Amino acid sequence: METVNISEFRANLLKYLDIANSGNEIMVTSNGKQLATISAPSRQKESARAQLDALSGNAVIHDVISPIKSDWDAQL
């Protein structure tokens, strides 16, 4: 993780955003105290697809349209 002072970060914002977007985290500090950690956005779509692909290996699909053989009372 790269550490950069807030004044350096402000002066070279686009440079540091490009670094973060490439996958490297950047810790922004002021007077030695951590203010923020800058990182690339999470890849939610890819992550969700990977989870669905993993679940599809053991998922069981049943008929959910046909009526079942038990009675139940629906309250309207």
Residue 67 scores a pLDDT above 70 = no
**Domains located in the chain, CATH noted:** 2-56 (3.40.1620.10)
The proportion of the chain whose per-residue pLDDT surpasses 70, expressed as a percent, equals 83
| pLDDT given for residue 76 in this prediction | 63
Q: Which residue has the higher pLDDT, 66 or 10?
A: 10
| pLDDT class of 38 with cuts at 50, 70, 90 | very high
> Is the pTM here over 0.75, yes or no?
no
* pLDDT level of residue 66 (50, 70, 90 thresholds): low
Whether pLDDT at 61 is above 90 = no
DSSP codes joined into one string, the chain: -EEEEHHHHHHTHHHHHHHHHTT--EEEEETTEEEEEE-PPP-HHHHHHHHHHHHHTT------SSPPSS------
